[in-house]
Structure 1
């Protein structure tokens, strides 16, 4: 059993609440923090301490980090919407992380496991796939750029007063409970909005089950090397076409191969320049759009990630293939009436 005292930022969120559960199972004493206005229903039955704090408020964060051994930093503004200004991403994700790390160092916190994203690489270079952690970074969306700057900011504090920083870079996360990001693609298939796939394009796409992402983060607290980042993806090798076809089959939906190559597939990503008016229309109706402008840049590259570095720490995946985790995910969507 661990015996450590852990702080989880973004504790009320989809991933944050699961981190809290995992830490409790591993014997950690857990404190969660999130905005005062956050919905606490996901953690209200957990045996944790809750301290409301805003990452942009230094005094509040200092109170939250006091007397903890390790921080699991899941909190972030996660959105691919074109309607959110860069300054908002910077204030929350970058400057908020600076506040957190500064307070942690001053309060003598031992370590931080930071949530980054595989989106920091941007469209990977074809001669460097599957992508390892040292791949050049060229994030395209505002969100992914903020996560890269956030990760770099956290790493600036590595080694100060003994503070150890480790980062995880999850691929697109799926699993029961997830309704954003990769879930939007799967739900588009389930609801008949995505009915085609490219016949002549072998671009790959990596994903990770949420339970493996959470387990990897806790594993790396004990087994990861400070100052290092780790891709968190499953073992399978999917093309975008295969992912769409197999998801559709699990959902009982029909999809059709379109005779287009990768170049034409990439051109579809440029539709993102026409998406903001649609987003504005949905926003005016107080509804979520089926997809968002910045998410379409994932059509522009071979997003195939390598997990060798993570596995070399002794980590074992519970969901090594999308086939292992997608059936329960589809079942959850159906139970929630989402498709």
Structure 2
């Protein structure tokens, strides 16, 4: 798709949403963004975006947001770092249901829903997971995303036009969680330890490419993993250090220590009646595994490509050293 079209973006002020909106504007799209009254619009504050002030439970605003657009990019969601399980489920699952209801009632084109790779995992001894490796979700975040995926699938099966994408671990400027943690392990002498296990690391600009390709070429009702390089934490930390002349963490945190932290997190959450740590014993065990993915389907059907982590370092390091 080229310019001259209109996109609606939920989660527009978030990490991925900001990068998507900037790309859409650069490509000549008209952009509508959903923004809560309290949201910091950051780098988009002065952008030529038509803002719709509300949230996923403001039904009239959602209808106005999506009515007449060519593509709805539904990115809005919340994780366990910032909210408890009930809120996470409500925003991610019930909020998606509200977006779909607005799309049914409005005159709009394709919906591209951004889920998570966490609803897929390698099966048994398999080295990589693909779109068919649907797994039992762990924790409220994965559970809520799995429910939202089924709602989107039902919408597509009932005549709606919808595609679901599953980004893996997104790396890039503006991300104060995963990206900052990974860079600190590769650059900072004060971070002596790295984590066990591994993951698929994908640059944020590659994910944006994938979202646009899904809007243009994806099959309605289908799912596409948008992944990157499969790296152990040790490999990722070493390559960041080599590329940026950093001081890599040299000690691996024992997996047993992370496993032991799971029950502690559960107990602390139960005593405090809040989600003190965003994991439990199941999630702690999962964090030590090699969660590797293949993007072969997206490559074959969408033309999706990803670049090595070194290609994403210059702009990410500039942001990290000046703003993070």
TM range (shorter): 0.7 to 0.9
Change (3 A) 1:177 1:8: same
Q: What is the deviation of 1:267?
A: 5.5
Please say which of residues 64-73 and 182-191 is displaced more in the overlay: 182-191
Task: Give the match for residue 145 of structure 1.
Answer: 143
Q: Does 1:134 align with 2:132?
A: yes
Match of 2:238? 245
State the Cα distance separating 1:191 from its structure 2 match. 4.2
Deviation of the 1:187 alpha carbon: 2.9
Contact preservation (8 Å) 2:72, 2:112 = yes
Instruction: Choose from 207, 211, 217 the match for 2:205.
Output: 211
Change (3 A) 1:59 1:266: farther
Partner of 1:333: 320
C-alpha distance after superposition, 1:100-121 (max 9, x if no partner) = 1011011132210001111112
CA distance in structure 2 between the aligned counterparts of 1:141 and 1:187, rounded to whole angstroms? 27
Structure 1 residue 23: deviation in Å? Answer: 1.6
TM-score (ref. length: structure 1): 0.83
Name which of 216, 227, 231 aligns with 2:225.
231
CA distance in 1, matches of 2:119, 2:54: 27
Name the CA distance, whole Å, in 2 between partners of 1:184 and 1:296.
Answer: 17
Tell me if the contact between 1:166 and 1:225 (Cα under 8 Å) persists in the aligned partners: yes
Q: How big is the shift at 1:247?
A: 2.9
2-structure distance, mates of 1:51, 1:276: 39
Alignment partners' CA distance in 2, 1:222 and 1:184: 34
TM-fit CA distance, 1:91: 1.3
Per the alignment, do residues 187 and 196 of structure 1 end up closer, same or farther by CA in structure 2, a change over 3 Å counting?
closer
Shift of 1:97: 0.5
**Contact conserved, 1:113 with 1:165, CA < 8 A, in 2?**
yes
**1:296 offset after TM fit, Å?**
4.2
Structure 2 Cα separation of the partners of residues 48 and 197 of structure 1: 40
Structure 1: where are the runs of 5+ without partners? none
Residue pair 2:193, 2:250 contacting (<8 A) in 1 also: yes
Partner residue in 1 for 2:13: 12
* Residues 268-277 or 306-315, more deviating: 268-277
Cα separation, partners in 2 of 1:197 and 1:211, compared to 1, 3 Å: same
Q: What per-residue deviation string (whole Å, max 9, x for no partner) do you get for residues 265-312 of structure 1?
A: 2652441332478899xxx9xxxx9x8536745423220000101111
- Tell me if 1:112 matches 2:111: yes
Task: Say whether the 8 Å CA contact 1:266–1:299 is kept in structure 2.
Answer: no
Task: State whether residues 192 and 249 of structure 2, in contact with CA within 8 Å, keep that contact through their aligned partners in structure 1.
Answer: yes
- The CA distance in 2 between the partners of 1:327 and 1:26, in whole Å, is 23
**1:176 aligned counterpart, secondary structure:** coil
- Equivalence for 1:169: 166
Residue 273 of structure 1 contacts residue 293 of structure 1 at CA under 8 Å; is this kept in 2?
Answer: no
Contact residue 198 and residue 288 of structure 2 kept, 8 A = no
Distance (Å, rounded) in 1 between the aligned partners of 2:256 and 2:218? 36
Equivalent residue pairs, number: 316
Partner of 2:309: 322
Identify the residue that residue 262 of structure 2 maps to in structure 1: 272
Does the Cα contact within 8 Å between 1:233 and 1:306 map onto a contact in 2?
A: yes
Partner of 2:173: helix, strand, or coil?
Answer: coil
Map residues 69-148 of structure 1 onto 2, 5 A cutoff: 69-80=70-81, 84-122=83-121, 124-148=122-146
Q: Classify the secondary structure of the residue corresponding to 2:47.
A: coil
